[in-house]
Structure 1
Amino acid sequence: MKELALLLVLGTSLTVPQTIKTTFICPEGFKSIGKKCYHFSKQPALWTDSHFHCQILNSTLLVFNSLKEQNLLKGFITQDNYSTVDSGERWIDGLYDWKQHKWKWGSSGKPIQENSFTRKHTGEAFRWNCIAINQANNNRWVARKCSDQKPFICETSTNAYVEFKLYSRKKRKFNLTKCSSGLPLLDYEKRKCLKLLGRTEVQENEPAPLTVPEDNPGKSHHANWICPAHMINLDNRCYTFSDHSSTWQDAHFECRRNDSRLASIKSKKQDYNLRMFLNNFIEKQDRWIGGMYDWKSGKWRWAMTGQPLSYRGFSKAAMKSRSSQDLAWNSIFMDPALDNHNVDFF
């Protein structure tokens, strides 16, 4: 056994890594707090727009997983950072599931661990409510209408920036090497960095810039008409028709998860094509589309763009004697049984 132990010692690598310093770095526009990165938006937005803006930044709206994390963020806000971070209310990832009467994290759908806020804020009064934190009041959670415009906080994990020395017993000298996802490294340097970090390959969910593929000039124009396997082509537009019922909000997020969006109907021709298909090839039933009522401006808008509806196929009966207050939190569905009319629905 002694001989075996001696052989093992002699067989160790001639290169011995010695870590000098490990720093956690964040993507551009994020601030490092603890071992996470946070983005504090400068512009206000609806809760849903905030949700998708964070996704574009390869992050999510802020999720508190522990009291320690909440205290770290509170400390950052209060320690002379008011000049760079507005101290008002900001959206985080929580929203109210009024069907189950539970507060959930919007990015995962997981229930928020019960606390004094969730116990106090429950019931029909909190339908269409989302969670914001009041930074001027110790990051206290507050329930607000999801349609309110507020700045928001995105979060993501950090990248590790490791600086270490490699001691070569063979060459009897030190070589300084730096590991970082942002620096170009040779293959053998990447392997050494990954080994030092205790990993065998690059993690797929690391923060990274959003890459937009370039247009291929060699593509023929009609290639744009080809739809994914789960979608149907109607007059050069791709559609999918759900086989289950859901709330407008759930339908909105389901479409976004599938890299699509609730339909925006912008012309009489598009409206007609959809109705013909629904009436002749699919079970006739009401279906959500992407319009919702902005009660602050008193206008119907497409949820994904915020643009007012240019094509109005509303049923006159549905719109008759309706005030802005009556229409608050209404969204639009299409009824195939009606001739060229879209109807609003609470």
Structure 2
Amino acid sequence: MKPESKPCSIFVYHSFKGKRCPEGWMRFGSSCYSKSTGNRTWIDSRSFCQFVRSDLLVVNSKEEQEFVSTLNQNAESWIGLYVQWSSQKHEWKWVDGSPLTEPFWDEGISKDPYYNDAVFLSAQGKLTQQNKGFNRNWICEKQTKL
């Protein structure tokens, strides 16, 4: 006797809650952001971000810069823009390796930077360069996760 064939439907249930940020982090686009309450040097700030599996903020658009400015009210916070020696000169680089592009030049950033400078976001949302050794708040950024 041959088994009888019957149509069968298979339903697959996917639980998708969207991309989430860790508790205490704020979401904008595909990134999560955390602003410190303490003060550290640029190097120590970056080490802290890396310890929590993120890095200092890389600004990719004016909209992102406006968003992080709202996180940074009444503070000055290190971001991921610093001076790196490259091709016989000092150049501005983001911590992800990308160069500083023209839309993000600000009057607070020199086109001829010093070797030990990095950039912080002022309370007014302006990018300002300073020696990495000063203590400031900082902003970490990480990609959202499923």
Q: TM-score range by the shorter chain?
A: 0.7 to 0.9
Tell me the secondary structure at the aligned position of residue 159 of structure 1: coil
Structure 1 residue 16: deviation in Å? 5.2
Letter in 2 for 1:158: T
Letter in 1 for 2:121: I
- Would the alpha carbon gap of residues 33 and 108 (structure 1) be closer, same or farther in structure 2, given more than 3 Å must change? closer
Matched, 1:89 2:84: no
Structure 1: runs of 5+ lacking an equivalent: 1-9, 78-84, 161-346
- Would the alpha carbon gap of residues 27 and 101 (structure 1) be closer, same or farther in structure 2, given more than 3 Å must change? same
Q: What is the TM-score of this pair, normalised by structure 1?
A: 0.35
Tell me the secondary structure at the aligned position of residue 127 of structure 1: coil
Kindly indicate whether structure 1 or structure 2 has the higher relative contact order, using CA contacts under 8 Å at least 6 residues apart.
2
Deviations 1:151-181 (A, max 9, x none): 1000101123xxxxxxxxxxxxxxxxxxxxx
Q: Quote the residue 2:25 is aligned against.
A: 30
Structure 1 residue 30: deviation in Å? 2.0
Query: Which has more helix, going by share of residues?
Result: 1
Tell me the secondary structure at the aligned position of residue 117 of structure 1: coil
Matched, 1:132 2:116: no
Larger radius of gyration: 1
RMSD: 2.7
Q: Quote the residue 1:141 is aligned against.
A: 127
Q: What is the TM-score of this pair, normalised by structure 2?
A: 0.77
- Would the alpha carbon gap of residues 158 and 120 (structure 1) be closer, same or farther in structure 2, given more than 3 Å must change? closer
Structure 1 residue 18: deviation in Å? 7.5
Check conservation: 1:103, 1:118, Cα contact below 8 A: no
Alignment map for 1:1-346 (pairs within 5 Å): 13-15=9-11, 17=13, 22-74=17-69, 76-77=70-71, 87-98=74-85, 99-105=88-94, 107-115=95-103, 116-117=105-106, 121-123=110-112, 126-134=114-122, 136-137=123-124, 139-160=125-146
Structure 2: runs of 5+ lacking an equivalent: 1-6
Separation of aligned partners in 1, 2:32 and 2:102: 25
Aligned positions, number: 137
- Would the alpha carbon gap of residues 147 and 18 (structure 1) be closer, same or farther in structure 2, given more than 3 Å must change? closer
**Once the two structures are aligned, what percentage of the paired residues are identical?**
28
- Would the alpha carbon gap of residues 97 and 119 (structure 1) be closer, same or farther in structure 2, given more than 3 Å must change? farther
- Would the alpha carbon gap of residues 95 and 118 (structure 1) be closer, same or farther in structure 2, given more than 3 Å must change? farther
